[in-house]
Amino acid sequence: MGKHLLIVSLLALIGACKQPPQRNCSDFKTGKFSFTTTINGEEKQTVFYRTENMEVDEFEGKKDSSSVRWINDCEYVLKNLNPKNMSEEKSIHIKILTTTDSSYTFEYNAIGDTRKFKGTAYKIH
């Protein structure tokens, strides 16, 4: 009985020490960020600036603007203000999954598309 109680106590202690992932989404609602992705085997970086209702992306020397509509503190929808083709007309749903002091990991997809992608954005100070 004593061993059983010790094992149960140790398991409870281990479980109590495990922290849930941090999710301070409001820290990342506005600011300047960078995001790196791989396109055709090559790493590409996007820098973007976000206010409460607007986001401006800089990618390969070109700027693009999108409206931002927050669903809740951790989810928002981007809508391109100047779409150049049909795929740019689709809004993008973004959900912040976890945060750190200087970054957030997110999941995103075009609305209506079941494929989801993940990325990490870093806040630039």
Contact of 93 with 75, CB cutoff 8 Å: yes
Provide the domain count of the chain: 1
CA atoms within 13 A on the CB side of 78: 22
Share of the chain above pLDDT 90, in %: 66
| Average pLDDT score, the chain | 87
Residue 99 forms part of a structural domain: yes
Say yes or no to pLDDT of 18 above 70.
Answer: no
Q: What is the mean pLDDT of residues 21-36?
A: 91
Is a pLDDT exceeding 70 seen at residue 1?
Answer: no
Give the pLDDT score at 10.
47
Task: Give a yes or no: residue 110 inside a domain.
Answer: yes
Q: Is residue 43 part of a domain?
A: yes
pLDDT band at 99 (very low <50, low <70, confident <90, very high): very high
Per-residue confidence (pLDDT) for residue 92, from 0 to 100: 95
Residue ranges making up the domain that contains 94: 22-124
Percent of the chain with pLDDT strictly greater than 70: 83
5 class by beta-carbon count within 10 Å (0-12 exposed, 13-18 middle, 19+ buried): exposed
Looking at the domain assignment, is residue 15 inside a domain?
A: no
Residue 1 lies in a domain: no
**39 part of a folded domain:** yes
Q: Residue 9: pLDDT above 80?
A: no
Structure tokens belonging to residue 95 = 């959900």
Residue 94 lies in a domain: yes
Domain of residue 44, CATH code: 2.40.128.20
Residue 40 is assigned to a structural domain of this protein: yes
What average pLDDT does the segment 93-115 reach? 94
pLDDT in tens, 38-97: 888 999 899 999 999 999 999 999 999 999 999 999 999 999 999 988 888 899 999 999
